[in-house]
Amino acid sequence: MTAPPTALGRRAAARKPQPEPTAVRSALRGGGLLALAGLLLLLVVLSTWIGTKDTTLGQVWTALWNDDGSYATDVVRQLRLPRTLVGLMTGAALGVAGAVMQTVTRNPLADPGLLGVNAGASAAVVFGIGVVGLAGFGSLVWFSFAGAALTTVIVYVLGASGRAGPTPVRLALAGAAVSASLSGVIAGLTVFDSATYDYLRFWMVGSLAGREPELVVQLLPFVAVGLVIALLLARPLNSLALGEELGRALGARIARTRIAAVIAVTLLCGASTAAAGPIAFVGLVVPLVARWLTGPDLRWVLPYSMLLAPVLLLVSDIIGRVALPGDELEVGAVTAVIGAPVFIAMVCRRKEASL
């Protein structure tokens, strides 16, 4: 939980003096980014094509452009396309939010759940069903969004209450404290309320299935704004990663950067959790892999995370659709089963000092 706080900064500093032919390096990184984009496009096609109902690629193609009212068209337009788009959006949001959080908290193991996002969204969902009496996904989305946002603000204020400001460890502890209390409240509200618990248990897994097409339109603005803020923050975050003093000396405005980063993370995590439920590991593993591919420069890490995370999510979703005959695995279960071994392998490979 408390990795050496300067790990990122130290690695960044260690990389600096290496005499790299920068032109070659950027060309390689740019090419990699393009290749990733191509892979993602391929996965989008696969995701609209593969499923329990057999469809040909031709059917998918016609279904995308005109609605001829056939069953195959309905399947593609009403089920697979929204699902794929939610996957794209959620993935990009989780990946970038994870990368930003790992930099701001200077903890390479931070993930969006750490700021209490998941607990806040779950508590709001439970409150919405059990106390307010809402039903249906549409109205609950806004509840979970508001819950995630509110919790993040509380965690940030609690973490920032010290004289030293929101240090990484304080943020993590505040997140743990608020999550714990909220999980108690959730348990208290659901123990005697089977109907609410029934909804919660399916929400908790994290799934892309059965999302309305309107959901994509509703949540897209939040994700877009969050992504833009995060990408604009790449340079100030780079300075922040070097440590507070050094960052300030380089002209970074620490407080402003941190607050902007928290706003971006809140928008991204809130929207993705509202859309797909708490999906584990994507926000944790993807930035680690991105940094491993590109080096510590966030101007590369952020775009890579933005493409890698939807790749992971769509692959997991497709695997979940075909893995079990007659049953569908939720994407949250698949990402955890794929992500955890990757994570553990990375932890085992690295030297003790660099963890």
Partner 1 sequence: MTTTEIRPAPEAGGGASDAARPVRWWSGRVSFRMHRRTALVSCGALLLAALLLLVSLCVGSYPVPVPDVARALFYGTGDRLAVHFVNQERLPQALLAILVGGALGMSGAIFQSVSRNALASPDVIGFNSGAATGAILVIVTFGGAAASVAAGAIVGGLVTALLVSVLASRGGLQGIRLVLIGLGVTAMLGSVNSYLLTRSSLNDAQNAHIWLVGTLNGRGWSSVQIMAAALVLLLPPVLLFGRRLRMMELGDDLATGLGVRVNRSRIALTVLGIGLCGVAVASAGPIPFIALAAPQIAAMVGRSPGVSLVSAGAVGAGLLSAAHLASSQFFSALVWVDRQVGWVRVVEESQRNNLLPVGVTTAVLGGAYLAWVLFKRRGTGTA
List interacting residues with partner 1 (CB under 8 A): 1-3, 109, 158-159, 161-164, 167, 169-170, 173-174, 176-185, 187-188, 190-192, 194, 197-198, 201-202, 204-206, 280-281, 284, 329-330, 332-333, 335-337, 339-341, 343-344, 347-348, 352, 355
With respect to partner 1, which residue has the nearer C-beta, 138 or 162? 162
| Type of residue at 105 | T
User: Least distance in Å: CB of 61 to partner 1?
Assistant: 34
User: Least distance in Å: CB of 20 to partner 1?
Assistant: 30
With respect to partner 1, which residue has the nearer C-beta, 44 or 209? 209
With respect to partner 1, which residue has the nearer C-beta, 39 or 323? 323
With respect to partner 1, which residue has the nearer C-beta, 277 or 303? 277
SS3 of the chain: CCCCCCHHHHHHHHHCCCCCCHHHHHHHHHHHHHHHHHHHHHHHHHHHHCCCCCCCHHHHHHHHHCCCCCHHHHHHHHHHHHHHHHHHHHHHHHHHHHHHHHHHCCCCCCCHHHHCHHHHHHHHHHHHHHHHCCCCHHHHHHHHHHHHHHHHHHHHHHHCCCCCCCCHHHHHHHHHHHHHHHHHHHHHHHCCCHHHHHHHHHHHHCCCCCCCHHHHHHHHHHHHHHHHHHHHCHHHHHHHHCCHHHHHHCCCCHHHHHHHHHHHHHHHHHHHHHHHCCCCCHHHHHHHHHHHHHCCCHHHHHHHHHHHHHHHHHHHHHHHHHHCCCCCCCHHHHHHHHHHHHHHHHHHHCCHHHC
User: Least distance in Å: CB of 110 to partner 1?
Assistant: 11
With respect to partner 1, which residue has the nearer C-beta, 112 or 226? 112
User: Least distance in Å: CB of 84 to partner 1?
Assistant: 22
- On whether the CB atoms of residues 90 and 279 are closer than 8 A, the answer is yes
User: Least distance in Å: CB of 91 to partner 1?
Assistant: 17
With respect to partner 1, which residue has the nearer C-beta, 24 or 353? 353
User: Least distance in Å: CB of 350 to partner 1?
Assistant: 9
With respect to partner 1, which residue has the nearer C-beta, 57 or 131? 131
User: Least distance in Å: CB of 260 to partner 1?
Assistant: 23
Q: Taking each helix axis from N to C terminus, what angle separates 298-323 and 22-49, rounded to the nearest 10 degrees?
A: 20
Separation between Cα atoms, residue 100 and residue 98, nearest integer Å: 5
Separation between Cα atoms, residue 45 and residue 56, nearest integer Å: 11
With respect to partner 1, which residue has the nearer C-beta, 128 or 278? 278
With respect to partner 1, which residue has the nearer C-beta, 45 or 150? 150
User: Least distance in Å: CB of 22 to partner 1?
Assistant: 33
Separation between Cα atoms, residue 4 and residue 17, nearest integer Å: 22
User: Least distance in Å: CB of 171 to partner 1?
Assistant: 9
